[in-house]
A and B are shown apart, each in its own frame.
Chain A
Amino acid sequence: NAGVTQTPKFQVLKTGQSMTLQCAQDMNHNSMYWYRQDPGMGLRLIYYSASEGTTDKGEVPNGYNVSRLNKREFSLRLESAAPSQTSVYFCASSEPRQGYYEQYFGPGTRLTVT
């Protein structure tokens, strides 16, 4: 049981390049999330998927797109990377029960855009 996995762990992009961050969970959770973490800012929600087939914008969606490929997988795409997207990206999943919303996080992807 691997929990939440993310690939790649590290990536360096040039401005204008595109890439897709992959996330998968094996806990049969319905909800999945993408966050970014910047120094002094805390984690901020980019996009989320409450269940398979649905996606919604979070707090900072500009410059990103997502795909909920199936119940297990939720990918994040940067179409044209910008230096402001240099950050650590975390994927998370959860299965809310009776109002308890513990989220399980992947190990993160460290992205640098030059």
Chain B
Amino acid sequence: RKEVEQDPGPFNVPEGATVAFNCTYSNSASQSFFWYRQDCRKEPKLLMSVYSSGNEDGRFTAQLNRASQYISLLIRDSKLSDSATYLCVVNYGDTGRRALTFGSGTRLQVQP
């Protein structure tokens, strides 16, 4: 079983739609959670961190449910420029490693 699991998609949505992605993680010792965005043939870039109380950044809302070990990302009013792969990322913070464990990503295609 993968440590971080995501629906690979693709999610094809029209402009203006609301779309939600979920992600589950297997290690209950996970400490930090993130969503990264990766454009085609580019490097991953941090989209937003995910806090226990949930957090919002413009059209993007992230939620964390520690009891069920899942993370979600909600995108409202989708834009063409939101088309990308969204990576769910978890950090265990163990032994000073501070490396990240990545899901394989969910691809979003926003259509005009």
Name the contact of A42 in the complex, choosing from B42, B93, B104 (C-beta under 8 A). Answer: B104
Instruction: Name which of A42, A44, A50, A94 has the most chain B CB atoms within 10 A of its CB.
Output: A42
Nearest A residue to B5 via CB reads: A42
In the assembled complex, which residues on chain B have CB atoms less than 8 Å from the CB atom of A87? none
Interface string of A70-112 (1 = CB under 8 A from B): 0000000000000000000010001010011111011110000
CB proximity of B41 to chain A, nearest CB, Å: 8
Name the contact of A50 in the complex, choosing from B2, B97, B103 (C-beta under 8 A). Answer: B97
CB proximity of B87 to chain A, nearest CB, Å: 7
CB proximity of A3 to chain B, nearest CB, Å: 10
Are A41 and B96 closer than 8 Å at their CB atoms?
Answer: no
Interface: B1 (CB within 8 A)? no
Tally A-B pairs: CB < 8 A. Answer: 56
Whether A41 touches B97, Cβ cut-off 8 Å, given contacts A99-B32, A100-B32, is no
In the assembled complex, which residues on chain A have CB atoms less than 8 Å from the CB atom of B87? 42-43
Are A42 and B32 closer than 8 Å at their CB atoms?
Answer: no
Interface: A53 (CB within 8 A)? no
In the assembled complex, which residues on chain B have CB atoms less than 8 Å from the CB atom of A13? none
A40, B8: Cα distance in complex, Å: 8
A101, B34: Cα distance in complex, Å: 9
Are A42 and B4 closer than 8 Å at their CB atoms?
Answer: yes
CB proximity of A40 to chain B, nearest CB, Å: 6
Closest 9 CB pairs of A and B: A105-B43, A42-B104, A42-B102, A43-B102, A45-B99, A102-B46, A101-B91, A50-B96, A101-B98
